[in-house]
Structure 1
Amino acid sequence: MTKHFTSSSRDGYDRPPGKARNLTAAGLAIVAVTYGLARYCFGLFLPEIRLEFGLSTETVGLIAGSSYVGYLAATFLGAWLSTAVEPRLPILLGGMAAAAGMMIIASAASPLGLAFGVFLAGTSPGLAYPPFSDVIVRHTEPVRQNSVYAWINSGTGFGVALAGPLALYAGADWRLAWLVFAWLAVIVTFWNMFTLPRRRNVRNTRETAVSLRFLTYEKARPLFCAALLFGVVSVIYWTYAVELLTDLTGRPRDAILFWIVLGMAGVTGCFAGGLVNRWGLGRTYAALAVAVGAAIASLPLLIGSRFGIFLSAAGFGIGFIVMTALFGMWSMRIFREAPSIGFGFTFFLISLGQGAGPVIGGYLIPVLGQSMLFVAAGLLCCALALFRAPA
């Protein structure tokens, strides 16, 4: 039986003038706390967390993977709520999940409690991120949609960049950092509560049933395959890069500076819309797949040079944020009739790969070693250029 949703990309929202900038800023902020903090910062504090709880490599992989399992569980819920109710609801739920999950992490007394906090925090971007495709399509002029989406997507970089200085300040007190993250999520959630528009019941509005069969479009297959594999290779860097640097250099401070460079470079992802407008989606995607792959593979090879590891961080930070923006733009081109469903499924596949990646890495590291794992992941990322995105 075919399941149907109601697309919120049709009429049914008011369009107050001058709201685009406020929506962009609020969206960037919620992405910063849900993606940049709640989801990706586990790797930043991994050496301290692993030492305090005495975690094995396999256990670390399973806990890190729980964040992505949480995302998978929430992605379709967020997309469904966006189409069936309104985008505002899942976005606010995502902010609350980020705050609650990070508070649980900050107070965890056991590995099980830590895993639950990581899981709950991981649900937050799954709830909050896909509905913004509906918000963008509905409340932004078509010529500005790539740019607005790129700015919102770059929130990940802002969140990662913010986490680094706080980690330096907190030192070994990683719980303090997570508590501050949680309160930032609370503030940002209230900001979105007062900024995001509500859907109005407009007379003569025609609701459109959207079949899930459209996810089987032949033209979507390269997108879905590339998204899945990109999730696997990129999460290796997010999860294990800081630990790799700490183990091989013995300089934890350099690892945190590396994280700050990664985040600051990711902020430049806000210009992804301009790149696509100038060079086209296909060429930009192919170039970035190779660039991200080179950044991943080169990290263990450049370990002896502080400039080299910062160069790898900058390359990955820029490339990852732009690549995720490109996947979002690619999806919105294909699934115009139900942006949040197609968009949500694309990022569901990225996170499916990211959920499997830490678990795979946790079992491969004792066999291959961390360095070879990074080289293999980088080469696989370069191969993603073979999946052809629209021009």
Structure 2
Amino acid sequence: MATTYGVVRYGFGLQLPQLSAELGIDAATAGLVAAGAFASYCLVALLAGRLVLRRGARPVLWLAATLGATGAALVATAPSVPALAVGVVVGGGAAGAASPALVVAVGATVSPGVHADRAQAVVNAGTGVGVLLAGSVVLAAPLAWRPMWWAAAVASVVTATVVDRAVRWPSVVERVARGPDAATSEVSVAVPVGLALLAGAGSAAVWTFGRDLVVGVGGLGERTGALLWVLLGVAAVLGALSGDAVRLLGLRGAWAVTATGSAAGTWLLAAAPGHVPVAALGCVLFGGSYTALSGVLIAWAAALRPENAGATTARLFVALTAGQALGAAAVGALVAVTGQRMTFLVAGALLLLAGGLALGLTSAAARPRPDAPETPGATGTLAG
């Protein structure tokens, strides 16, 4: 997760100021490239969800490793913007395969119940570790973006090898026949899908243009911008607490809190991109809240479809990333019209809307399915 999400998927936004200076990428083009990476994620995640059911999770892990290594290598050697775009788009698909594979791996390796919820949240928080590492590299050597992508290519293969040997892979997941509650279940899944789309659109501003905002608009130095990204990564590791947040607040409450926190972080960056303490607080709020928000989606998938949580997680993460794809393209276009700060205010409003809607729309989605097996802490997890 640290490699495919934190470095390969979000590394483009981190290094956008340097890439713009060296290769001449403008805001609209950057938005389209980011949108392409998000779209690639969606396509691969949909494929991965099917492969998990038909072939098992292990081949999906290696699909993630192959895409991550190939995409990172293409970025590392890119001589032009089109070549760079191809690498970013190919690498963006790696994370789409990683999530469903690792959800199944954790579910088969860790005892069910509270420990499994925490383990899923901890693995998901690996995104923050990757953001932290990538930000640290930029902080130490702002111009060395190509070596970082070469390291990501190697790490994609090495980490997949370690995971492959460390977990217990289940046999091919059986496709469970749909019962009479199938229609109700589809309605329930539709609610988090819609909320994830909205939250994804709102989050695209920070992930794609966050560092560019504080450096280009706020006037902060390259190293200061990288340090803020490191803070974002450190805070994102706190997303490991999302499993406990769901048990304490319920799915609706945890989603509302994390979406609102993401909105607050986005607004703080827009309010004072050149004021380091405010921008730092914005990065911390966004990093921790967004990663926890994605962890809530994993818990939601397990609650709605415990028999195929990997495929359902892929579906919800596709919705989140589809929103990011649309949001990245819209943000890139809107920046040219209203400027980055106003665009970030709009993005924060979308996140706040996603959090508010959760409190009124998810009562049905938060109920366990009649045929869902009870697990320790289930009542706390699903309570609204």
Normalising by structure 1, what TM-score?
Answer: 0.87
Query: Cα 1:131–1:44, aligned 2, differ >3 Å: closer, same or farther?
Result: same
Aligned-partner Cα distance in 2 for 1:83–1:335: 13
Aligned-partner Cα distance in 2 for 1:209–1:131: 22
Aligned-partner Cα distance in 2 for 1:304–1:114: 29
Letter in 1 for 2:203: S
Q: 2:160 aligns with which of 181, 189, 199?
A: 189
| Correspondence 1:141-160 to 2 at 5 A | 141-160=112-131
Q: 1:208 aligns with which of 176, 188, 193?
A: 176
Say if 2:293 is the partner of 1:312: no
Give a deviation string over 1:307-331, Cα, whole Å, max 9, x none. 1110000000110010000111112
| Correspondence 1:168-179 to 2 at 5 A | 168-179=139-150
The equivalent of 1:40 in structure 2 is 10
Q: Which moved more, 1:223-232 or 1:284-293?
A: 284-293
The equivalent of 1:25 in structure 2 is none
Please tell me whether the aligned partners of residues 58 and 362 of structure 1 are also in contact (alpha carbons under 8 angstroms): yes
| Correspondence 1:12-91 to 2 at 5 A | 31-91=1-61
- Structure 2 residue runs of 5 or longer lacking an equivalent are 367-383
Secondary structure at 1:208 match in 2: coil
Letter in 2 for 1:223: P
The equivalent of 2:317 in structure 1 is 347
Aligned-partner Cα distance in 2 for 1:279–1:177: 39
Say if 2:134 is the partner of 1:163: yes
Secondary structure at 2:306 match in 1: coil
Aligned-partner Cα distance in 1 for 2:41–2:166: 24
Letter in 1 for 2:137: L
Please tell me whether the aligned partners of residues 41 and 92 of structure 2 are also in contact (alpha carbons under 8 angstroms): yes
Q: Which moved more, 1:149-158 or 1:352-361?
A: 352-361
Aligned-partner Cα distance in 1 for 2:244–2:198: 25
The equivalent of 1:231 in structure 2 is 200
Query: Cα 1:207–1:384, aligned 2, differ >3 Å: closer, same or farther?
Result: closer
Query: Cα 1:333–1:248, aligned 2, differ >3 Å: closer, same or farther?
Result: same
Give a deviation string over 1:210-253, Cα, whole Å, max 9, x none. 69x76972222221110001111111111001111111233221
Give a deviation string over 1:121-172, Cα, whole Å, max 9, x none. 0010111111223233333322322111100110000100011111122321
Please tell me whether the aligned partners of residues 170 and 176 of structure 1 are also in contact (alpha carbons under 8 angstroms): no
1:337 CA drift (Å): 2.8
Give a deviation string over 1:67-108, Cα, whole Å, max 9, x none. 111101101111111111111110122022111111110001
Query: Cα 1:366–1:271, aligned 2, differ >3 Å: closer, same or farther?
Result: same
Say if 2:96 is the partner of 1:126: yes
The equivalent of 2:306 in structure 1 is 336
The equivalent of 1:293 in structure 2 is 263
Aligned-partner Cα distance in 1 for 2:82–2:183: 39
Please tell me whether the aligned partners of residues 138 and 223 of structure 2 are also in contact (alpha carbons under 8 angstroms): no
Say if 2:230 is the partner of 1:260: yes
The equivalent of 1:380 in structure 2 is 350
Secondary structure at 1:217 match in 2: helix
- RMSD (Å), alpha carbons: 1.9
Aligned-partner Cα distance in 2 for 1:53–1:206: 48
Please tell me whether the aligned partners of residues 294 and 379 of structure 1 are also in contact (alpha carbons under 8 angstroms): no
Aligned-partner Cα distance in 1 for 2:161–2:118: 25
Aligned-partner Cα distance in 1 for 2:108–2:131: 29
Aligned-partner Cα distance in 1 for 2:157–2:253: 39
Say if 2:253 is the partner of 1:283: yes
Query: Cα 1:241–1:207, aligned 2, differ >3 Å: closer, same or farther?
Result: closer
Please tell me whether the aligned partners of residues 121 and 243 of structure 2 are also in contact (alpha carbons under 8 angstroms): yes
- Structure 1 residue runs of 5 or longer lacking an equivalent are 1-30
Count of residue pairs the alignment pairs up: 357
Please tell me whether the aligned partners of residues 109 and 168 of structure 2 are also in contact (alpha carbons under 8 angstroms): no
The equivalent of 1:27 in structure 2 is none
1:283 CA drift (Å): 1.6
Query: Cα 1:173–1:287, aligned 2, differ >3 Å: closer, same or farther?
Result: same
Aligned-partner Cα distance in 2 for 1:277–1:199: 27
Q: 2:107 aligns with which of 125, 128, 137?
A: 137
